[in-house]
Amino acid sequence: MDTPNRRDFIVTAGAAAAAAAMGPVTMATPRRKNPLEMLNIGIVGTGGRGTGACNDTLTANKDVRLVAMSDLNMQKCQSARDNLAKAHGDRVAVEDSKMHGGLDGYLEVINDPNVDLVLLTTSPGFRPQHVEEAVKAKKHVFAEKPVCIDPAGYRACRNAHAMAEEQGTAIVTGTQYRRQDNYVDAIRMIHEGVIGEPVTATGRYCGTGIWYRPRQEGQTDAEYQLNNWMHFIWLSGDQIAEQAVHNIDVMNWAMNSTPERAFGSGGRFTRPDDSEMWDSMSVDYDYPGGKLVSFMCRQLPDATVDVDNVIYCTEGTCYIKAINGGSRIVDKNGREIYSAPGNIGAAYRQEHKDLVESIKAGSPIVELNQTADSSLTAAMGRMASYTGKEVTWEFVTEKSKLDTFPKDLTLESSLPSNGYAVPGTTKPT
């Protein structure tokens, strides 16, 4: 790990304060749940996906209930609780005193002795810190993707994964395609050699424009950036990490490896002036054995949407379309070997079913490293594009000191933006 910084300090000081406030509490030992016993869930980050994840787990598992919530903005906890209660009745059992606001509210949820499992669904920049704290508190975890956006966060995730394995707590991540039948079958068939060996692939995450939340009068820099989080790299990691990581994960999965190096390019033409994001990025990833993945992502209004993966193998081709587009495998004569529709809704629920069942069975799933690898693969592509220089896996995992999280973060912080990256000027760190 890098030398301790403010991120560590905030976490340690916050945890100590929370522990002191609670008095002499014995940290919960992960319990092997009786299959008939209710599992108590806490959530950190009750925005769109956080509320969706609560709904998914409450739908997929009859024996879980929601008992604690935290969000920067307490009103979001209240509205999420009220909406979820309409659908799930008394399994949404969050008392007013169990809703926590502000930057340190997550510690109240994570250190709540009544909570067995925490869902971590804030903007991505906080994920490594939140996962590490939750694992230290011996909670089971669901962590949305991406799980990190820089090498410092990657190391925190590796550490959390090792701790969870050691103590027997679960970590499932929000890479739902790993649980979507048409993806699972298609990639299994590639791994079984049904169409020979993978040689090359194209992955695309080309979408249209996205939201922008303009600065409100009186907002501090921190408040503004936290609300308009997609546009600040320390919070989102840019599109390639925040969104396109889904298909980068599919590429690592299909190639059964992380890449050895990345070479990238891109730019920006439509983003608002103070956005740090690029509009578009194209990255060539070299995988072991001379395999090449050509990856592209962009968010451009009124441009063609293409969010699909094509994997070219020695004896045929595999097409995997995102969301509900389905999979298709053909041999080299174009004869169809396999085709299946997609159902992303089922996959969103399956990840929560697998997580809860693994906890109850006493064999917790720990899959953080896999998603940390994919998240760092995305960050590596961004680093290569931003700098205009080739970036290696060895550099990002072993040498890079890049830690985008601001020091001394409070809601009052002054956070001058770094602006957007300019290749040749932006240095690899």
Q: Which residues bind ligand NAD (CB under 6 A)?
A: 44-50, 70-73, 76, 103, 105-106, 121-124, 126, 144-145, 174, 176, 226, 242
- Per the CB < 8 A criterion, the answer to whether 362 and 32 are in contact is yes
Nearest to 31 by CA among 111, 136, 139, 109: 139
Nearer to ligand NAD, 55 or 70 (CB): 70
Nearer to ligand NAD (CB atom), residue 283 or residue 409 = 409
Taking the complex as a whole, the smallest distance from the CB of residue 242 to ligand NAD amounts, in Å, to 5
In the numeric block, which tokens belong to residue 234?
Answer: 């320390």
- Residue whose Cβ sits closest to ligand NAD: 47
Q: Tell me the C-alpha distance between 203 and 247, whole Å.
A: 6
Which residue's CB is nearer to ligand NAD, number 45 or number 264? 45
Give the integer Cα–Cα distance in Å for 120 and 196: 39
383, 404 contact by CB (below 8 A)? no
Contact 118, 42 (CB under 8 A): yes
Between 105 and 198, name the residue whose CB sits nearer to ligand NAD: 105
Q: Nearest 10 degrees: CA dihedral of 376, 52, 11, 115?
A: -130
226 neighbors 246 (Cβ within 8 angstroms): no
Find the shortest distance in angstroms from Cβ 342 to ligand NAD: 13
Nearer to ligand NAD, 105 or 259 (CB): 105
Instruction: Rank residues 74 and 300 by Cβ distance to ligand NAD and give the closer one.
Output: 74
> What is the nearest approach in angstroms of ligand NAD to the Cβ of residue 224?
13
By C-beta, is 38 or 206 nearer to ligand NAD? 206
Q: How far apart are CA 4 and CA 8, in angstroms?
A: 6
Q: What is the distance between the alpha carbons of residues 252 and 70, in angstroms, rounded to a whole number?
A: 33
Of 48 and 341, which has the nearer Cβ to ligand NAD? 48
Q: CB of 35: closest distance to ligand NAD in angstroms?
A: 28
Residues facing 143 on adjacent strands: 120, 173
- 369 vs 412: CA distance, rounded Å: 34
Q: How far is the CB of 73 from ligand NAD (least distance, A)?
A: 5
Q: Which of 14, 266 has the CB closer to ligand NAD?
A: 14
In the complex with ligand NAD, the residue whose CB is nearer, 154 or 395, is 154
Q: Find the helix packing angle between 48-60 and 344-360, rounded to 10°.
A: 60
The Cα–Cα gap between 346 and 186 comes to 17
Q: What are phi and psi of 52, to 5 degrees?
A: -60, -40
CB 284 → ligand NAD: shortest distance, Å? 24
For every residue of 20-87, DSSP letters joined together read HHH-SPPPPPPP---TTSPEEEEEE--SHHHHHHHHHHHHH-TTEEEEEEE-SSHHHHHHHHHHHHHH
CB of 378 to ligand NAD, least distance (A): 11
Q: How far is the CB of 12 from ligand NAD (least distance, A)?
A: 16
CB of 146 to ligand NAD, least distance (A): 6
Q: Are 296 and 207 in contact (CB under 8 A)?
A: no
Q: Smallest gap, in angstroms, from Cβ of residue 14 to ligand NAD?
A: 11
Order of strands, sheet of 291-299, starting from the edge strand that comes earlier in the sequence: 336-340, 326-331, 316-321, 309-313, 198-207, 291-299, 280-287, 261-267, 391-392
